[in-house]
Amino acid sequence: MTLYEELKARGLVAQITDEEIIDLINNGKATFYIGFDCTADSLTAGHFMALTLMKRLQMAGNRPIALIGGGTTMIGDPSGRTDMRKMLTKEDIAHNAACFKKQMEHFIDFSEGKALMLNNADWLLNLNYVELLREVGACFSVNNMLRAECYKQRMEKGLSFLEFNYMIMQSYDFYYMFQHYGCNMQFGGDDQWSNMLGGTELIRRKLGKDAYAMTITLLTDSQGKKMGKTAGNAVWLDPNKTSPFEFYQYWRNVGDADVMKCIRMLTFLPLEQIDEMSTWKDQRLNEAKEILAYELTKMVHGEEEAVKAQNAARALFSGEADTEHMPTTQLTDADLNDGSIGILTLMVKAGLAASNGEARRLVTQGGVLVDGEKVSAPTASFTAEQLAKGIVIKKGKKVYHKVTL
């Protein structure tokens, strides 16, 4: 099976600009890039598709360029957004870029000649506006830009001129790297298709040469929602933001309808093994979820942490009281009111509910246990003495959290 055939079989390929892509990646002749705007100080589970794709392509002899968006982050990508992104300082962006590099090294070999990490701030921030307009402005049709999928969501609420420039910036990145680094291909999520076509068209019109683009399928659950978030919060690759146990638990708890798709798209297990697993039903789906969670946790946090997380999760499922690797919230005396704290406040502070209202609903529906006992009323509270020993809150069937004082 060729690399492209494998990508298709794993359900990763969404759109390609040209059949030429197939020969290039199969023969290890692509120097390709994927862009990462550094809007936070950690990558998320939502970046998994891009990171694993880069690894697959590199293993086949292609050369990845991880492009850190130090320049484009200052504009903000409007794709899939209903509002404008928060503006970051240069210092914030530089810090976030350094964090990204450290995490990417778990997936990509950046040794000599194997891969590059570039920052588009190095060329975008030095551009003269009038010179840029004269160089590339005539290559973009406003009519075509307004029809682009990435802008459609914003047209009703109002698209700022700042964000309207994002496509030009991303296209210029491809044009610049094509000339200076031999970058002949761009990969990205399917919501980036219009921006990526802008780059191939700019290269064709300015240089008279061909460049290529391929989009990968977005990772969504069976309801069509983007995966990689829990309780409304991102699942981070940074262990200080999402512990290895929490990371493991996120994948261990994916829906029955989603587990095999995740294994196929995200892991490096052989397709023959995955095809055999796809026949599993009922209780064996839990085994598949364990395999998914273990493989991804090992990839991000290493084998030792993956084993710890798996053992801790199994202990909880079997009812044993091993809480060593459980996510924990440490309270202080300032969090207490007259020496105690209510269950609703406690759940919000532990990140188990987004609001008191959500916590109240969970309690009244009987979905909250503390130390194995169902919390009978939303007025329940816990004393400093109880918290000093540590309590374990269980939300629903699968989410555990330890709270101490």
Q: Any known ligand binding at 181?
A: no
Nearest Cα to Cα of residue 302 among 169, 126, 103, 149? 103
The 3-state DSSP class for residue 39 equals coil
CA 171, 173, 179, 182 torsion-angle sign: negative
Contacts of 49 (CB under 8 A, 6+ apart): 12, 189, 216, 217, 218, 219, 265, 266
394 is an annotated ligand-binding site residue: no
List Cβ neighbours of 332 (8 Å cut-off, separation of 6 or more): 405
Task: Determine the residue type at 324.
Answer: E
Kindly report the CA angle at 53 between 79 and 95, in degrees rounded to 5? Answer: 60
Pairing outcome for strands 63-68 and 116-119:
parallel
CB within 8 A of 405, min separation 6: which ones?
330, 331, 332, 333, 336, 384, 387, 388
**166 a known binding residue?**
yes
170 is in an annotated binding site: yes
Of 32, 330, 397, 59, nearest to 178 by C-alpha is 32
Give the annotated binding-site residues for ATP: 229
Give the annotated binding-site residues for L-tyrosine: 33, 166, 170
Give the annotated binding-site residues: 33, 166, 170, 229
